[in-house]
Amino acid sequence: MKEKDITAREFKPLEHRMVPMHEILEKNDLEKTLSEYNINKEQMPKIHITDPVAVSIKAKVGDVVRITRMSQTAGKSIFYRLVIA
């Protein structure tokens, strides 16, 4: 039996059980978030444009991604990442 090569088009990282939900923030949500944390976009942690999930959600440089992680101990945790090149 031959091992099948998985191409980037076939790989769907968001379908993996260990990958949390990623979504691109809308402009009004971004403004609220920046105001709430009293920061600007450049102060946010970064995610590279070539990250498999960033590619999967079609993120563009300058977008901000909201990552929602679920944990049995901590419950729901939300993180933000600025997409960079």
pLDDT at 30 over 70: yes
Average pLDDT over residues 41-51: 95
Average pLDDT over residues 61-84: 94
Domains of the chain in sequence order: 13-84 (3.90.940.20)
Please tell me the pTM assigned to this model. Answer: 0.80
Least confident of 11-15, 26-30, 49-53, 58-62: 11-15
Instruction: Specify the DSSP element, H or E, that contains 67.
Output: strand 64-71
Average pLDDT over residues 7-30: 81
Average pLDDT over residues 21-45: 95
What per-residue confidence (pLDDT) applies to 7? 57
Name residue 33's amino acid: T
Q: Which residue, 2, 5, 17, 7, is CA-closest to 52?
A: 7
